[in-house]
Copies of this chain bind each other. A is one copy, B any other.
Amino acid sequence: MKKFINHADDFLEQSLSGLQSAHPELLQVHKDPFFVTRKNINPHKVQIISGGGSGHEPLHTGFIGHGMLDIACPGHIFTSPTPDQMIAAIDYCQPKNGVLMIVKNYSGDVMNFEMASEMIDTKNATILTNDDAAVINSSYTEGKRGVAGTLIVEKVVGSLAESGASLEECQQFGLHANNLCSSIGVALTSCTIPAAGKPTFDIENDQIEFGVGIHGEPGRRREAIREANLIVSDMVEAIFQDFRERDVKIGGNSEFLVVVNGFGATPLSELYLIFNSVTNILNEKQLNIGRSLVGNFTTALDMAGASVTLCLLDDAIRKHWDSSVYTPSLRWGI
């Protein structure tokens, strides 16, 4: 294992210290227990809290700021955060109008956010994101996994909360957005957890994992690498199959937000090539790309690979996607 680390034990603490030093105007890192809040807290808006195991940066700590998250609770690498982190963070922010928890659907995250939900006095609600079309159940997951669609939910719900909407309105809108998202990922390599020191899984030099999870969990199949256009075509088909199975109506005028997300070790030039493939495939289907995002946003440490997310746009999602956002890793309109 070759990584820029000192000791596996202090990796998270030192990485969060760097985040703090790089973005003092935006956020505040708290260390006992670990949680990250906005620098300037507005307790009168619904507080949007997310979190999960670290290793997916910039998700979630890089999305703290105006128009997106108020709080992120990072667990150790690929390990759920614990209820004391969420409780301490919520106590620190003193919300007057409730807390909305955006939780990726993994058993540990779900259990720990649920415990926090029961232990706090503040009114709260939860959105479970589960946009991964690849598999139904998986390691650590009952039901579908939450992956890169989560950032879309965080962006649009964050925008709605900024406008002063109620907890119930924010929850309903987040569930609506999650339902309109579908994602699938492909791994070219494994990833290496610092404390483990060796790759999470083995993969041959000419093989890919189609449908991989963001912790290296198995997908649908192991297969030989092919031309990118062919891989991406299968990815988009899997997404449309998922939409059909969930009765999400796609028609001739449908417009999508397309996110091409790198897992950490895939160059931007390849991500744009994947985006080009998606564009051509949707054009052939006479479907429209209304908005797009290309880059590393929901990563799996040092995995080479990428995911494609389609989110069916409606007026509300388009409006709240476009609204201003100012965070370490997503910013526009300000």
Contact = CB atoms under 8 A, between A and B. Distances in A.
Contacts of A54: 269
A61 to B, nearest CB: 9
A184 to B, nearest CB: 14
Most chain B CB within a 10 A radius of its CB, from A6, A228, A272, A295 = A272
A31 to B, nearest CB: 13
Contacts of A231: 4
A306 B299 CA distance: 18
A227 interface: yes
A236 to B, nearest CB: 14
B268 A11 contact: no
A255 interface: no
A279 B228 CA distance: 41
Contacts of A3: 188, 228, 270
A2 interface: yes
A292 interface: yes
A208 interface: yes
A203 to B, nearest CB: 9
A331 B331 CA distance: 7
A267 interface: yes
Contacts of A277: 14, 18
Contact of A264 (B265, B274, B276, B331): B265
Contacts of A304: 2, 265, 302
B332 A4 contact: no
Nearest to A62: B268
A302 B267 contact: yes
Contacts of A333: 334
A228 B6 contact: yes
Contacts of A271: 4, 18
A159 interface: no
A276 B16 CA distance: 8
19 contacts: A2-B206, A3-B188, A4-B188, A4-B270, A6-B227, A11-B269, A14-B273, A17-B272, A18-B273, A18-B276, A18-B279, A21-B275, A22-B272, A22-B294, A264-B265, A267-B301, A268-B329, A302-B304, A332-B334
